[in-house]
Structure 1
Amino acid sequence: MLKKSSFLGLVAATISIGLWLLLNFFNPYSNETNNGTTLISLCMIVLPAITAIISYFTSRKLLMLIAFIWSLPLSLYMLMTPGIFLLFGITSFCYLFSYILMRKKQGLLE
């Protein structure tokens, strides 16, 4: 039953990984890749997305909250950019909404 409420987190995680690939390897605003930037963005965007995906498949709402908190600093920064990468902020808040939905759904089941 928690799978339906955590589906938003799964979609947000998939979009985050796709945006990360675009940011690092097909960036329309920059034509060079920096290994340090790639590693930092991997740790701050992709790993929380993987955590959200694991949360979807295991129905553990705490992992979705961890994914939100983990991705929040860089996502807030990206939210203030004028380009497509502001979607990182939206996907991060989707983790939070998914956590809230999972928590409400569990409260209804008890």
Structure 2
Amino acid sequence: MKLTILIGLLASTGSMILWIIFALFNPYTHERVENDVLFITLITLFIPACVALLGSVIKRPSLMFIAFLWSLPISLYTAMTPSMFKMFGLTSFMYLISGILMIRKRRSQQR
């Protein structure tokens, strides 16, 4: 179970750090991120990362799947960019992996 939790924790904290870099210290632009972009990415990347962090801590695969589905559209979009922010695609996929591993671990413990 430790690996499962670690994957979820790394993915969620990684997404949060990536979002902070995107919003506050973006190395690809010298301009401030517009408020609407900031708000949309907060809702679609940062908050799902918080949900995934909670899901990892309390070991709830349903929260990991919610975070995955919630972040998937914009994560797929950022995954196609030639920037460091393509890592959002990886972190979103890691939410899914963590949720699947949580379910498999739970089922194997029931046997």
TM over 0.5: yes
Q: Is the 8 A contact 1:48 1:71 kept in 2?
A: yes
Equivalent-residue separation in structure 1 for 2:2 and 2:62 (angstroms): 14
Paired residues for 1:1-110 under 5 Å: 2-32=1-31, 33-110=33-110
Unpaired runs of 5+ in structure 2? none
What residue identity is the alignment partner of 1:55?
Answer: G
Shift of 1:28: 1.3
| Runs ≥4 residues deviating over 6 A | none
Question: Residue 74 of structure 2: SS of its match in structure 1?
Answer: helix
Contact conserved, 1:6 with 1:99, CA < 8 A, in 2?
Answer: no
Give the secondary-structure state (helix, strand or coil) at the position aligned to 1:9: helix
Task: Please provide the CA RMSD for this pair.
Answer: 1.0
Aligned partners of 2:18, 2:6: CA distance in 1, in Å? 18
Q: How far did 1:6 drift?
A: 2.5
Question: What is the CA distance between 1:40 and its match in structure 2?
Answer: 0.4
Displacement after TM superposition at 1:48 (Å): 0.5
Is 1:3–1:59's contact at 8 Å kept on the other side of the alignment? no
CA drift at 1:3: 4.7
Unaligned runs of 5+ in 1: none
